[in-house]
Amino acid sequence: MSSDVRDVVVTGLGATTPLGGDVASTWAAMLAGESGIGPIEEEWADGLPVRIAGRLKSEPTEVLDRVQARRMDRCEQIALVAAREAWADAGRPEVEPERLAVVIGTGTGGALTLLGQDDVLEASGVRRVSPHTVPMLMANGPAAWVSIELGAKGGAHTPVSACASGAEAIAMGLDLIRLGRADVVVAGGTEACIAPLPIAGFAQARAHSTRNEAPARASRPFDADRDGFVIGEGAAVVVLERAEFAAARAARAHARLAGAGVTSDAHHITAAHPEGQIRAMRLALASAGLSPLDVEHVHAHATSTPLGDLVETRSVTEAIGLHPSVTATKSMTGHLFGAAGAVGALAAILAVRDGVVPATANLDTLDPEVRLDVVSGGPRRGALTAALTNSFGFGGHNASLVFTRP
């Protein structure tokens, strides 16, 4: 295989998050240290131990066709919003449909539809259940809608690997191009599951922060006083292109997707193991042809759980070292589960492109067991050549991505 097939660049970016309805507003809010986390005002949260979440800054129904939106789950809606922005940002590449693929990961798929239509069934009977229920709840729905929108016939794929789904989707996009199966891949992650049952489940597992009185301060990765993550919703999508294909159409490249590593722990259904994380990072570096010393920045998975942050600390220290700057933007967005890896990739791409790393919010006192160079207090500016981003999920899923200057 020729070297040009292996060289993959990022030409389009799209997002809708608790910080903003697009990439520009999300990135500006990250750099400003703003929080997208607030109280849940609905009555259904009154009896829950957790009443905070990272809700979308902009509603997808404001930009989608009304009839189309009614036939889509929220996670499908926001995936399409992010994909449209990314496609436009890439200049709407003219590519053969059979050479265009879509990979959109999600952790829970159409959970809101599943829960909502079950309530309808119980309360009103089968005749009131929507005929669109199945295509709205199926996990492959977001990838399918995006492929239909863009006319992509090179495959519509859906990694479902919990909180690593979005990053694994981007890794799969890299593989599709390197293997010569596509010239352009639209890849990312989406999640929308802010509802009583998921929140209650995470609360019972003691994984969710209970700082209901201070929502904006609740997510605090690496802080000594952290007490869990905050549930969030959102989507992020990137357009990946074979470098030669992008160059032939004079496309601008935000960054180069230099490498990816995907592993599984085979250890425990919820507890992470450092060995799997270390292997993912090392595989990503090998894929990129880089050494640990080449990595100047790490966007950490860092969800703000007491144990998870320490496991990742040990993993990064072992696989990369103590020299890179480290940040955790979940401190501002909350944990977007299946979309988290894609949002992390977005932050890493922009850090490399713009030469600035957002600070980790709410880091008042660094956990003494964390020896990493965690950026806090304000953005850190300076040219970056290579950045690595981590995503880890329940089930022992690990995905690491490496981005460099194009």
Catalytic residue numbers? 163, 301, 335
Calculate helix-pair angle for 340-354, 165-178, nearest 10 degrees.
70
Residues 6+ positions from 210 with CB-CB distance below 8 Å: 49, 50, 203, 227, 228
91 dihedral zone (left: phi>0; alpha: psi -120 to 50; beta)? left
| CA triple 67-73-241, angle to 5 deg | 95
Secondary structure class of 287 (helix, strand, coil): helix
Q: State how far the Cα of 272 lies from the Cα of 59, in Å rounded to an integer.
A: 34
Q: State how far the Cα of 57 lies from the Cα of 31, in Å rounded to an integer.
A: 16
Q: State how far the Cα of 32 lies from the Cα of 41, in Å rounded to an integer.
A: 26
- Contact criterion met (CB below 8 Å) for 48 and 86: no
- Contact criterion met (CB below 8 Å) for 337 and 107: yes
Q: State how far the Cα of 29 lies from the Cα of 365, in Å rounded to an integer.
A: 23
Listed as own residue / partner, the contacts of 44-49 with beta carbons closer than 8 Å and 24 or more positions apart are 44/195, 44/196, 45/196, 45/199, 48/196, 48/199, 48/200, 48/203, 49/203, 49/210
Q: State how far the Cα of 75 lies from the Cα of 337, in Å rounded to an integer.
A: 12
Strand (E) positions, 106-218?
156-157, 184-191
Structure tokens at 406: 């194009």
Backbone φ and ψ for 188, nearest 5 degrees, come out as 170, -155
